[in-house]
Structure 1
Amino acid sequence: MSSPDKPTKIIAPPLNIAGIDIDVEAVKDAMLYINHNTGHDMVDRQVEEFILSNSGDGYVESKQLEYSGRSYVGWAHSLMTICEKYYEVEKVCSYNGRGTAEANPVYLDEKVRSRDGTETIIKVPHRQTRFLRHRENGHPLVLYFYPYDMYEIDCRVYFGTNSNYNHVEFMEEVSAHFKTEGIYKNAVINADYTFLEVPKMDWGDIVLTKDQQAMIDRHAINFLDRLEDYKELGMRTSRGLLLLGPPGTGKTLCCSILINLCKKCTIVYVSRNAIQERGQIDEIYGLARKLAPSLVVVEDIDTLGGIDREQGDHPLLGEFLNCLAGVEKNEGVITLATTNYANHLDWALADRPGRFDIRVNFDHPDVAARALILEKYLDKCRTDALDLKSMVKKTDGWSGAYLRELVNIAIMLSADADKIITQEIFDQAHKELTEMRTMIAKERGRSRKEDKSETDIFYG
């Protein structure tokens, strides 16, 4: 899965003047603050004049739009959509620090990706003031946007107290649109609100046991489809699935398949490096609750809750535990997590229904599964007199990832043999991969003599 490049902020180095180090960034921030507030006073006067001249006596009130970081894009899109539903635009302009109207308002061009892969560009207000008038009663409304940073926007809604304008109902409609029709609804997004491109795949792209697939279907796909039925029966409508097993056994592939199959829900994908500070997990689950039904996919959960409290406190563990089963209910939210090291998880994560209700083991494939995996990856290849039974026997203890790499090497070796994979080529591929893994094992301070069997080196 890939996401668009995030905008980068260039940090200026300290400036030395007459032997004194000047923090350029601090000076810029101070000037921005002064510039904004000086200009804001001027804008207030023009906003007040526009509203009071069109709504009679009274005074002007303002409400600040509540959002955090990049979620501004979704909130601003919903705000603009509801405004377009009821209001005509009378004037759009941008103000500088002196309160002087500039010719061109500033927008952000944001890429939005739908579940079918269609990409569109939406324009989101960045620095501008919009003067609006209600289509039916002529009541005025002003939207003010001023950026402190790329996605840190001072966004305010101005209205007159005598205009019979119900700002509570208006903002509730904006919030309802964000939750039910906004750009993130039923989308696949990262923890930082960027849209993800997910390769198309289904259950035919993985080899699972019948029990594995049935369990995942029951507790994820079917669970989402039957949420209303479960509500009527008084059942809790949140669920937690933990996929555990050695690396390369199909856990991440299974997550990608579920992302494809759970089409009528919002997907929030949390990679192992996505959580850097406190509050981010709260924000992720807050979003998941707003956009429910939703699926929160957490890769390598042991990096979040991997320190047992008997050894020391994990800085994010308490926050994560509270989000999974705390005061706020996760109605319609399923958490799907993976780990290579289940024994590293805190007991409150690993053994607590309500947080993770079901554990699905992904072990190394057995004889039948290895045969199916090799046949699957060789399906489009030209082969000649391959002894698959012997290869299945030689790959005891190999993960699905290494079986795929075995076929990849064989395909590359066959490029010099009329693209036909023979038994000799397959044996050579097996030899090369075995030697590589043996070398890796030695680099880890192990040797094949120390292992219980020759195949143990493929467990890690």
Structure 2
Amino acid sequence: QMVGPACSIARALQPAMVVIEDVDLIAEDRSLFPGGNPMLFQLLNEMDGLAEDADVLFVLTTNRADLLEPALAARPGRVDLAVQIPVPDAEGRHALLALYRGGLSLPNDGLDGIIHRTEGVTASFIKELLRRAAVTAARRDADDAAALHVTRDDLTDALDELFDTANAMTRVALGGGTAHHTDGTASDGLTVPRPAAAPTTARPDIGISSQ
């Protein structure tokens, strides 16, 4: 319902950028849901209604580019550039741990095993991993008013919990990959629960922009 007002403000303040996150929620392929979403038609009208000299950029993000309405994603002139953002590599996962740690105290070493086991996960998964490890540390050090000290064991326990088959839906929602071997042992020598099904592969974010 805010697509129209947002675009009106963008036109009034141009140059401007309109960012619509998870655009697949309003712009799913109409063949999947007969009738379509009224917000999809409003978005298409707003994008088509811009004057040729309008300085307004649309940035649309999605994890499910395969579900997007072709009239939006495949029509020339609406989407000028599609950028795929892959899941973070090992260096990126190190950086995400540093970014999301906040005031947490993490171990100075021993993180290589955690980094290896989180191959294929998204930034959201790393954030949830730290949150769960912090909860464990807070319960253990409830009487310590100083900064939380998250140990390698805290991270390992949190990762085991996320990789447990009982949390499969949570792992999918967070974009969690797995680094399990067929014998159920991770490369860092830690024993982890063996998945009941094939490992979940995270879908990369897709950034789509149109002007």
TM-score (norm 1): 0.34
Decide whether the 8 Å contact of 1:308 with 1:344 is kept in 2.
Answer: no
Match of 1:314 in 2: 36
Q: 1:442 to 1:426 in 2, by over 3 A?
A: closer
Q: Which amino acid aligns with 2:26?
A: L
Deviation of 1:431 after TM superposition, in Å, equals 1.8
Q: Aligned runs of 1:341-360 on 2, under 5 Å?
A: 341-360=64-83
Q: 1:330 to 1:348 in 2, by over 3 A?
A: farther
Cα deviation for residue 343 of structure 1 reads 0.9
Higher strand share: 1
Residue 388 and residue 361 in structure 1: after superposition, are their counterparts in 2 closer, same or farther (change >3 A)? same
Q: Which residue of 2 aligns with 1:158?
A: none
**Deviations 1:76-117, CA, capped at 9 Å, x for gaps:** xxxxxxxxxxxxxxxxxxxxxxxxxxxxxxxxxxxxxxxxxx
Partner of 1:448: 195
Secondary structure of 1:382's aligned partner: coil
Q: Note the C-alpha offset of 1:427.
A: 1.3
Q: Does residue 304 of structure 1 match 2:31? A: no
Q: After superposition, what is the alpha-carbon deviation per residue over 1:322-346, rounded to whole angstroms, capped at 9, x for unaligned? A: 3212474460111121212111112
Match of 2:17 in 1: 295
Give the deviation of 1:388 after TM superposition.
Answer: 1.3
Q: Distance in 2 between matches of 1:347 and 1:303?
A: 14
Alpha-carbon contact 1:367-1:393 (below 8 Å) kept: yes
Q: 1:313 to 1:443 in 2, by over 3 A?
A: same
CA contact (8 A) 1:377 1:404 kept: yes
C-alpha distance 385-305 of structure 1, shift in aligned 2 (>3 A): closer
Matched, 1:374 2:133: no
Query: In 2, distance between residues paired with 1:386 and 1:337?
Result: 39
Letter aligned with residue 21 of structure 2:
E
**Secondary structure class of the residue paired with 2:22:** coil
Equivalent residue for 2:7, pick from 285, 304, 322: 285
User: What SS does structure 2 have at the residue aligned with 1:338?
Assistant: strand
Deviations 1:348-368 (A, max 9, x none): 211234322122223321122
2:23/2:60 contact within 8 Å kept: yes
Deviation by residue 1:367-416 (Cα, 9 ceiling, x = unmatched): 22112112333364333453111110011122111111111222222232
Classify 1:320/1:338 alpha carbon distance in 2 versus 1 (closer, same or farther; 3 Å).
Answer: same
- Structure 2 partner of 1:222: none
Unaligned runs of 5+ in 2: 172-193, 205-211
Q: Could you tell me the TM-score, scaled by structure 2's length?
A: 0.67
Change (3 A) 1:458 1:326: closer
Decide which of 420, 435, 442 is 2:149's aligned counterpart. Answer: 420
Cα distance change of structure 1 residues 287 and 408 upon mapping to structure 2, 3 Å threshold: closer
* CA pair 292-427 structure 1, distance change in 2 beyond 3 A: same
Matched, 1:439 2:166: yes
Asked whether the 8 Å contact 1:406–1:430 carries over to 2, the reply is yes
Confirm whether residue 340 of structure 1 aligns to residue 87 of structure 2. no
Assess if the C-alpha contact under 8 Å between 2:105 and 2:150 holds in 1: yes
SS in structure 2 of the partner of residue 321 of structure 1 = helix
Contact (CA 8 Å) 2:27, 2:69: kept in 1 or not?
Answer: yes
Q: Residues 92-150 of structure 1, C-alpha deviation per residue, up to 9 Å, x if partnerless?
A: xxxxxxxxxxxxxxxxxxxxxxxxxxxxxxxxxxxxxxxxxxxxxxxxxxxxxxxxxxx
- Tell me the distance in 2 between the aligned counterparts of 1:384 and 1:320: 47
Matching residue's letter, 2:30? D
Output aligned runs, 1:154-169, within 5 Å.
none
Give the superposed CA RMSD.
3.2
Q: Quick one: structure 1 residues 369 and 348, their matched pair in 2 at CA, closer, same or farther if it must change by over 3 Å?
A: same
CA distance in 2, matches of 1:442, 1:295: 34
In structure 2, do the counterparts of structure 1 residues 424 and 332 end up closer, same or farther at CA, with 3 Å as the change threshold?
A: same
Displacement of 1:315: 4.7
What amino acid sits opposite 2:68 in the alignment? L
Post-superposition CA distance 1:155-206 (Å, at most 9, x none): xxxxxxxxxxxxxxxxxxxxxxxxxxxxxxxxxxxxxxxxxxxxxxxxxxxx
- Percent identical across equivalent pairs? 27
Between the two proteins, the alignment pairs up a number of residues equal to 175
Alpha-carbon separation, structure 2, partners of 1:330 and 1:308: 30
- Name the larger-Rg structure: 1
What pairs with 1:55-74 in structure 2 (closer than 5 Å)?
A: none
Q: Which amino acid aligns with 1:297?
A: V
CA distance in 2 between partners of 1:423 and 1:377 (Å):
16
Which segments of 5 or more consecutive residues in structure 1 lack a partner in the other structure? 1-273
Q: Secondary structure at the match of 2:150?
A: strand
